[in-house]
A and B are shown apart, each in its own frame.
Chain A
Amino acid sequence: AQTVTQSQPEMSVQEAETVTLSCTYDTSESDYYLFWYKQPPSRQMILVIRQEAYKQQNATENRFSVNFQKAAKSFSLKISDSQLGDAAMYFCAYRASYDKVIFGPGTSLSVIP
């Protein structure tokens, strides 16, 4: 069965610094998708970034980038130039082709002014 693990329940970062959130997953599939979702306090969950497993190039979205290591089944999120608005729960998620999305337990990120 596929599983998603986020080993850091809580993280903190100084404003303007860089932080990396870890995610590992277990699957026997070769074709799948990976996502990072952000859930700010009392606000809607939104997609931060996604990665197709068949693409070797790491996805980037402005200050957000991923380090996708397919062989190691690792999918970490790097946030550069952290801002106060980045404080949120971050969920790593996995989906095999046309299957349900599986979410990790989440990492709570605090940004220190």
Chain B
Amino acid sequence: EADIYQTPRYLVIGTGKKITLECSQTMGHDKMYWYQQDPGMELHLIHYSYGVNSTEKGDLSSESTVSRIRTEHFPLTLESARPSHTSQYLCASSDLSGSTDTQYFGPGTRLTVL
């Protein structure tokens, strides 16, 4: 079944640790996105990609980095986690060839940095 997956769903980690949030989609979509969302608040775009080897920074400045080596995989990495990184991170994908560009979202990773 075509879907979009995120792991881990919940992560509690200490300050200074390096973490990678995983995102994979089986829909063959070209575009993928990472959003940061505090509980009950709006989404902030932090990274996006149009396809393999394409990555762009979003509207919200972020200390994270992303890579897009395979179409289906778009991991997000924090080299040194800080308490200010505590938030929910949502991954999404969309079909670049489709005119409406409907986004399909993963379940999210809730990150807590102590």
Contact = CB atoms under 8 A, between A and B. Distances in A.
A70 to B, nearest CB: 17
Question: What interface size band does chain B fall in?
Answer: 20 to 34
A35 B43 CA distance: 14
Interface stretch (B17-25, B78-86, B98-106): B98-106
B48 A100 contact: yes
Contacts of A105: 41-42
Contacts of A46: 105
B100 A50 contact: yes
Contact of B101 (A101, A103, A108): A101
- Interface SS of chain B: loop
B100 A52 contact: yes
Nearest to A1: B59
A47 B106 contact: no
Contacts of B111: none
Nearest to A95: B101
A45 interface: yes
Contact of A44 (B58, B99, B106): B106
A97 B96 CA distance: 11
A106 B40 contact: yes
Contacts of A98: 101
A35 B42 CA distance: 15
Given A89-B40, A100-B58, A106-B40, A47 B102 contact: yes
Interface of B: 40-43, 45, 48, 58-59, 90, 92, 99-108
Interface of A: 33, 35, 37, 43-47, 50, 52, 89, 91, 95, 97-98, 100-101, 103-106, 108
Which are the 9 A-B pairs with shortest beta-carbon distances? Answer: A45-B105, A105-B42, A103-B43, A44-B107, A47-B102, A33-B100, A44-B105, A106-B42, A95-B101
24 contacts: A33-B101, A37-B105, A43-B107, A44-B105, A44-B107, A45-B90, A45-B92, A45-B105, A47-B103, A52-B99, A52-B100, A89-B40, A91-B42, A91-B43, A95-B101, A97-B99, A98-B101, A100-B48, A100-B58, A101-B101, A105-B42, A106-B40, A106-B41, A106-B42
